[in-house]
A and B are shown apart, each in its own frame.
Chain A
């Protein structure tokens, strides 16, 4: 692996969805540049409609790239054909937000986990032992294999989704709001699991979230998106503790904290900020 080249390099990325009818296309991503190094977790924060999920989907080849480039390990991947894309499955994987719809309800957990392994051309026997390894890796009991997704809780399902992402030992996992659908206590445990896996395997994460506090604890670096553009990028500590861009500051102050005294103070600060600038306008 090239030591100077980041694992993922996104340059001036533009994604435009053609609107139905005669209207001009809708520019969802507008000149995004972002890099992710090996073993690094980069947080992508923004509100709904900011384009953060689209960026993840573009890296996965699920959203059309209108302009700009995406390179993985020094190789352009934004214009790959279906075959090239399939080969990339071993390197780039995904964990979606909703563990209820990201697992096929009619397939057993074993089948779900074996699917990418079999698609990569491994024999059934090898796949079976790999499935057991994967279940162990995400702290699920071995008998989970023969059960169906609906027999698991939300947090357990998200573990299954993570195991599927790990099946081919990828180098990058796109985590698209993997914690948002989970309860608070489950959220913390899944977060620990993701961090543990990263520290053990050196996989990189693009961690998409709307929660600055989660991103602060989960990521090394953070990028903030607003209406299809990156407004601020930097070290997680710096961006989430002393943000420079007014939108980031607004975002930070808008999330209520679980302390009535501190929250009252933040509320006052937010109304002060709202009076001075209004970046959303």
Chain B
């Protein structure tokens, strides 16, 4: 378990499920999104009500107003032909809004059903429609729109319908991937086994997933539609006679020397409208996938615990450790007052269930906690040095040379873009300063040492070409490459099959004995502890419950929690009674 869970199972109550939260609710909660929404509504209302609001007609020429700056009665001045800019601005949104609606409707109607069908059923329809989408995507939109205008003339609705087709691949791909992802979810399998028809599965399980991303895509597409129309209108290819934002910009362009102020009213209006669309989309996107760069916890020196200088001379000494994660306005503490020691050459098991904080404790020793986590209290002494007082660079240097780490999932812990050899030699060269050839020789030696039959071939392989068990051997080779004094293994066998697990445990035992390194083995499996460890530390909800010699703790646990855990392990003493016929249909 690498994800931290707060103590006592308190799940953050504020974060309700985004998929369930209504789209409107999300927008209302985010002040920026709310403001954007207000702007958009305003633009629509003003455009519709323009005949009532505008002081002058859109094409009404006021004598003497041409190229005049703002003045009483004409707040935004007059344009090149002497028409009131404000009145034109109020009318100008109408054409663009119609075009935008047409674009969206066409893009959604063409893209979404096709994408959902392609994602759900796959096969030939998927190939054909994906191919079509790829073609449409490769067309420079503006140029094709010009071709359409050359053929049929500048008519907003058909031209923007064509733009809708050009945007439809975005909707198609979105719907397709969303549906493909859902289709492979176990809950869709469960629905199928529950006897739901395909139509019902799509309606209940698939559409709900697609809805959010579609609205996001629509808001950005609407922005694009506004911008493209502005371009066309600017080029004089919008509808003639009807005022439009692009036309006003074109007029500003013509009069750029004489009346530069004409550039601003239409430009700012367009920018604010499109920005509002984008902000609405962004707010929704953030609530759907919540992907934001983690903000770092400020590096505050942790408070020292009661006994700041332990007279313990073990290799590793942890005392009074408290780790917190930001939660709402406060801090959720996931590890509290944890302390233990590891002597040189000693193998210690750190055991507990999920949420016990065992992995967090291990990462805090490595200095590899996620950036948002903070060590709030405690000390970590390694080889007499205070690790929490060390700089990030010092800690990095220590990691590459004296403390090593073996992760849980072998496959996801190798960089897929580099060969095994490159990944093994890079630290040897960067940290230990070996030459290229020396690093290569050492890496091959290490691969052989961890029991890989054909080191040269594995050296040249990419991660996807080797098995999970082999990948774990490679990671172990990488960990021991620096001859560490302390090896921290986080559930090193959990992702593996039992027979492979046994081999990896054998390998770890052999390496530990040969090198005499200390090992901190984080695991949930008491069998693994019994197999490998000399001492065991039992953790529960962020605290140490019991600590002691493995033989003693397993034979005679002192704490109730340890007893309870040990008795929960199936030991094969209880067998099923023979089948007794039960008369059916009398459930519950």
Interface set of A (CB-CB < 8 Å, partner B): 37-41, 47-48, 60-62, 82, 85-90, 92-94, 96, 98, 101-107, 115-116, 119-120, 133-134, 136-137, 148, 150-151, 153-154, 161, 164, 166-169, 171, 183-185, 187-188, 191, 195, 199-202, 210-211, 213-214, 216-220, 236-237, 240-241, 250-251, 253-263, 267, 270, 280
- The reply to whether B502 and A116 form a contact with Cβ atoms under 8 Å apart is no
A-B pair number, CB within 8 angstroms: 202
Given contacts A105-B19, A183-B353, A259-B554, contact A92 B193 (CB under 8 A): yes
- The reply to whether A39 and B575 form a contact with Cβ atoms under 8 Å apart is no
Q: What residues of chain B lie closer than 8 Å to A119, measured between beta carbons?
A: 194-197, 200
- Which residue of B is nearest A262, CB measured? B530
- The reply to whether B17 and A106 form a contact with Cβ atoms under 8 Å apart is yes
Q: What residues of chain B lie closer than 8 Å to A185, measured between beta carbons?
A: 353, 564-565, 568
User: B296: CB under 8 A from chain A?
Assistant: no
Q: What residues of chain A lie closer than 8 Å to B584, measured between beta carbons?
A: 171, 201-202
User: B462: CB under 8 A from chain A?
Assistant: no
Q: What residues of chain A lie closer than 8 Å to B551, measured between beta carbons?
A: 260-261
User: B588: CB under 8 A from chain A?
Assistant: yes
Interface set of B (CB-CB < 8 Å, partner A): 9, 11, 17, 19-20, 185-187, 189-198, 200, 204-205, 208-209, 353-354, 497-499, 501-502, 505, 524-531, 550-551, 554, 564-566, 568-572, 574-576, 578-588
- The reply to whether B498 and A47 form a contact with Cβ atoms under 8 Å apart is yes
- The reply to whether B194 and A89 form a contact with Cβ atoms under 8 Å apart is yes
- Which residue of A is nearest B185, CB measured? A101
A-B contact pairs, 9 of them (CB 8 A): A38-B579, A96-B186, A119-B194, A168-B194, A169-B585, A210-B497, A217-B576, A236-B576, A251-B499
Known: A82-B198, A184-B524. 16 other contacts (CB 8 A): A47-B499, A60-B193, A94-B193, A96-B189, A101-B186, A106-B208, A115-B191, A116-B194, A166-B587, A169-B587, A217-B574, A218-B576, A219-B576, A250-B499, A256-B530, A258-B566
- The reply to whether A39 and B582 form a contact with Cβ atoms under 8 Å apart is yes
Q: What residues of chain B lie closer than 8 Å to A87, measured between beta carbons?
A: 195
Q: What residues of chain B lie closer than 8 Å to A201, measured between beta carbons?
A: 582, 584, 586-587
Q: What residues of chain B lie closer than 8 Å to A210, measured between beta carbons?
A: 497-498
Residue from B200, B354, B569, B583 in contact with A258 in the complex, judged by beta carbons closer than 8 Å: B569
Q: How many angstroms between the C-alpha atoms of A37 and B498 in the bound complex?
A: 29
- The reply to whether B498 and A213 form a contact with Cβ atoms under 8 Å apart is no
Q: How many angstroms between the C-alpha atoms of A218 and B196 in the bound complex?
A: 30
Q: How many angstroms between the C-alpha atoms of A167 and B190 in the bound complex?
A: 12
Q: How many angstroms between the C-alpha atoms of A270 and B505 in the bound complex?
A: 13
Residue from A101, A153, A195, A202 in contact with B581 in the complex, judged by beta carbons closer than 8 Å: A202
- The reply to whether B194 and A115 form a contact with Cβ atoms under 8 Å apart is yes
Q: What residues of chain A lie closer than 8 Å to B191, measured between beta carbons?
A: 104, 115
Q: Closest Cβ of chain A: how far from B212's Cβ, in Å?
A: 10
- Which residue of B is nearest A256, CB measured? B527
8 smallest CB-CB distances across A and B, nearest first, come from A89-B195, A202-B582, A256-B527, A116-B194, A258-B526, A106-B19, A102-B186, A47-B497
In this complex, the member of B9, B505, B575, B585 whose beta carbon has the largest number of chain A beta carbons within 10 angstroms is B575
Q: How many angstroms between the C-alpha atoms of A261 and B531 in the bound complex?
A: 9
- The reply to whether B194 and A40 form a contact with Cβ atoms under 8 Å apart is no
Q: Closest Cβ of chain B: how far from A118's Cβ, in Å?
A: 9
Given contacts A101-B186, A263-B531, contact A148 B502 (CB under 8 A): no
Q: What residues of chain A lie closer than 8 Å to B579, measured between beta carbons?
A: 37-40, 220
Q: What residues of chain B lie closer than 8 Å to A120, measured between beta carbons?
A: 195
Q: How many angstroms between the C-alpha atoms of A137 and B575 in the bound complex?
A: 23
Residue from A115, A188, A214 in contact with B204 in the complex, judged by beta carbons closer than 8 Å: A115
- The reply to whether B196 and A254 form a contact with Cβ atoms under 8 Å apart is no
Q: What residues of chain B lie closer than 8 Å to A151, measured between beta carbons?
A: 11
Q: How many angstroms between the C-alpha atoms of A133 and B497 in the bound complex?
A: 38
Q: How many angstroms between the C-alpha atoms of A104 and B196 in the bound complex?
A: 14
Residue from B200, B531, B574 in contact with A256 in the complex, judged by beta carbons closer than 8 Å: B531
- The reply to whether B531 and A86 form a contact with Cβ atoms under 8 Å apart is no
Q: What residues of chain A lie closer than 8 Å to B186, measured between beta carbons?
A: 96, 98, 101-102
- Which residue of B is nearest A1, CB measured? B584
Q: How many angstroms between the C-alpha atoms of A220 and B205 in the bound complex?
A: 37
Q: How many angstroms between the C-alpha atoms of A42 and B334 in the bound complex?
A: 41
Residue from B9, B193, B530, B574 in contact with A257 in the complex, judged by beta carbons closer than 8 Å: B530
Q: Closest Cβ of chain B: how far from A99's Cβ, in Å?
A: 9
- The reply to whether A104 and B187 form a contact with Cβ atoms under 8 Å apart is yes
Q: What residues of chain B lie closer than 8 Å to A184, measured between beta carbons?
A: 353, 524, 526, 565, 568-569
Q: Closest Cβ of chain B: how far from A214's Cβ, in Å?
A: 5
Residue from B189, B194, B197, B564 in contact with A62 in the complex, judged by beta carbons closer than 8 Å: B189
Q: What residues of chain A lie closer than 8 Å to B524, measured between beta carbons?
A: 183-184
Q: Closest Cβ of chain A: how far from B120's Cβ, in Å?
A: 13
- Which residue of B is nearest A255, CB measured? B498
Q: Closest Cβ of chain A: how far from B122's Cβ, in Å?
A: 12
Q: How many angstroms between the C-alpha atoms of A263 and B198 in the bound complex?
A: 51
- The reply to whether B354 and A183 form a contact with Cβ atoms under 8 Å apart is yes
- The reply to whether A217 and B570 form a contact with Cβ atoms under 8 Å apart is yes
Residue from A92, A136, A168, A195 in contact with B588 in the complex, judged by beta carbons closer than 8 Å: A136
Q: How many angstroms between the C-alpha atoms of A258 and B571 in the bound complex?
A: 9
Q: Closest Cβ of chain A: how far from B376's Cβ, in Å?
A: 26
Given contacts A116-B195, A148-B17, A218-B576, contact A254 B501 (CB under 8 A): yes
- The reply to whether B502 and A270 form a contact with Cβ atoms under 8 Å apart is yes
Q: How many angstroms between the C-alpha atoms of A260 and B439 in the bound complex?
A: 39
- The reply to whether A216 and B193 form a contact with Cβ atoms under 8 Å apart is no
Q: What residues of chain B lie closer than 8 Å to A263, measured between beta carbons?
A: 527, 530-531
Q: What residues of chain B lie closer than 8 Å to A60, measured between beta carbons?
A: 189, 193
Q: How many angstroms between the C-alpha atoms of A155 and B519 in the bound complex?
A: 32
Q: What residues of chain B lie closer than 8 Å to A236, measured between beta carbons?
A: 575-576
Q: How many angstroms between the C-alpha atoms of A280 and B569 in the bound complex?
A: 28
Given contacts A184-B353, A200-B582, A254-B498, contact A217 B527 (CB under 8 A): no
Given contacts A148-B20, A251-B499, contact A220 B578 (CB under 8 A): yes
Q: How many angstroms between the C-alpha atoms of A40 and B578 in the bound complex?
A: 9
Q: Closest Cβ of chain A: how far from B588's Cβ, in Å?
A: 5
- Which residue of B is nearest A150, CB measured? B17
Q: Closest Cβ of chain B: how far from A21's Cβ, in Å?
A: 15
